[in-house]
Structure 1
Amino acid sequence: MSPLVVKAAGGIGCAVLCLPLLAALTVASVLGGITAGSGTAATPSRQALNDIPPRMLALYQRAALTCPGLPWTVLAAIGKVETNHARHPTMVSTAGAVGPMQFMPSTFQAYAHPVPPGGRRPPTPWDPVDAVHAASRMLCANGARHDKDLQAAVFAYNHSHTYVSAVLTTAHRYTALAPTPTAATAAVSFARAQLGTHYVWGGNGPADGGFDCSGLTQAAYKAAGIHLPRVAQAQYNADPQLPKGTPLAPGDLLFFGPNPRHITHVKLYTGNSEAIDAPHPGAAVRQRPAHTNTPNFQGATHPAARAGGSPR
């Protein structure tokens, strides 16, 4: 865990010039992989999905959107280096930095407002929502906006060249270096970014305060450029059913209900026998086991096939 004793204003101008040559070359090599065409929409790599708790992954992705040009993978890498994504037992450093993103309390106050949706009132560096959004603002203020100088931004977070190298290397590992995202991966990425969003019956997104199950799947595929009907039964009827026993692929829709003519719920399959859904009133969008071995599972469809690039 980093003490972050230098989270104060000033001194960021030498972030690039003062790097030893070997470190500079290492950082330059990973910067290209982080920023070249990735941006805030970078697809999580297998390592990211295995290492980052789903709620933290969604939080990093949402917070990065507040700073145009800031890859969410950099926020996630800072969370990894500082407290292993809030898994550190105390989250208190010897220098007095606290919380999942290891802020000195005075530094946190400079970046704590406005309070993000789901944050505490008053904001606190101990709260993951508050802390990750404050980290995004701090990086943005020091060079991350529009990818002006990502290296300097991380150096401002902690004045250590070793730290900069560790963060950017981790961010690179969290970025899936795929050529072009498919409709299925775009839909899954959208759904993951909604984890923690409130369930709202009939909800189509933030304007309604949240999603219901079919509102989420419709919005996920809209983000991928594919139109789905609004309700779960119509979505079930819209595409051919996958033959029984067909291995599921990320992006497949999973349908549940007492029978095929009475579909009551839909989930988006994400791989590894898990799916994302907006479950019921009083809950939030979540990622859980897919439960395709239950009696009310009525089958799956593959809407991504409509894009022409994801045949089954």
Structure 2
Amino acid sequence: MTLLSPFVRPTPDDRGSCATRLAIGIGLVMVGTIVAALAIVSVSTVSSNMPGLLTGGVECRATGEQPGASDYAQDSIPENYLEIYQEAGEDRGIPWNVLAAIGQVETHHGRWEGPGVTEGWNEAGAAGPMQFGTQADLAATNTWGGEPVMATEDRPEQGYGVDGNDDGVVDVYDPEDAIPAAADYLIANGAPDDLPNAIFAYNRAWWYVEDVLDWADSYADGDFTVDGPTQRAVICTEREDGGPIGEAPDDLSQAVVDWALAQRGKPYLWGGTGPDAFDCSGLTLKAFEQVGVTIPRVARDQWAHGPEIPQGEEQPGDLVFFDTPHQDGGAGPGHVGMVVGDGLQVEAWCTDCGPIATRPYDDPNRSDILGFTRPLEHENAKAELGLD
């Protein structure tokens, strides 16, 4: 079953993200591992309002359509569930195999014998084959709305419960009601345009997103590609107009940019300097290290290291710094990304912001830009490279 993750998702926060040392990051991972081993989750009550990704500047090409059912899907999903998933997906414009993947991860398509699948609710208050929250006083809260089983006319305005089969009853235990309700929940949280973040909203953990997408791929007949800004931000190599992303003005800058872009998809970790996870300044530190250039460890020291470049003159391989507060009250930026061109940066943003990805840096939803630097023009870098 799924992870007991926070039911109210905090606003993504850069504060202190790059100045925090590795020990803190390891501690957080240990806590997360303990939590994951202990409990079960339901749908969250709060819409996932993830930060803007490729919403401006350049957007990478991606396609997606309603897939067919693989032989494995036809053999492993109960026939009535498969039909409902496909009908709900077609009706709501959600890939049916994503709905099926959530149903598999949550309750094995209603076949899990734990509490709250066919009656009652589990300790978090989740119920039914798609594990909607049904109890306002428990962790899952009442995302279903009203009673687990209620007459259609008694359904409150809030909540996602629907009478999917028009039998006059809104029943969380009935897959004909629960599956289209799950589709509505995904739509409310960004689907189909941003399926990864919509799935993240269903159960606040990126491992859960990966698990669901793995099942979705196995259920699809042929290759299944998520058509969403998070996925494009992580894997894109080509702009919408067909041009390559991340073209730098010289070979050294290109090497730095190429290495940073190759880290996309890896998780954010406070204090992380790789190779499997990074924080923001850990990513930029290691990118320059690959070409033999040393820069300071944390964002504020990287900013002070310079040299500063006027906004509008930045180019791929430069660093962009954000005016975010520090937990210790110190001055200077609390976050840094690497410019890759076309108004985009590659960055390790924060714990709740998803994996390392390409995102716009001049975004009204982001902290103010403090400025840009060009580390390869620093006198120490030139000395290290034998260019002085």
TM-score band (shorter)? Answer: 0.3 to 0.5
Ranked by relative contact order (alpha carbons within 8 Å, sequence separation 6 or more), the top structure is: 2
Rg larger for: 2
Q: TM-score, normalised by structure 1?
A: 0.46
From the two aligned structures, give the one with the greater helix fraction.
1
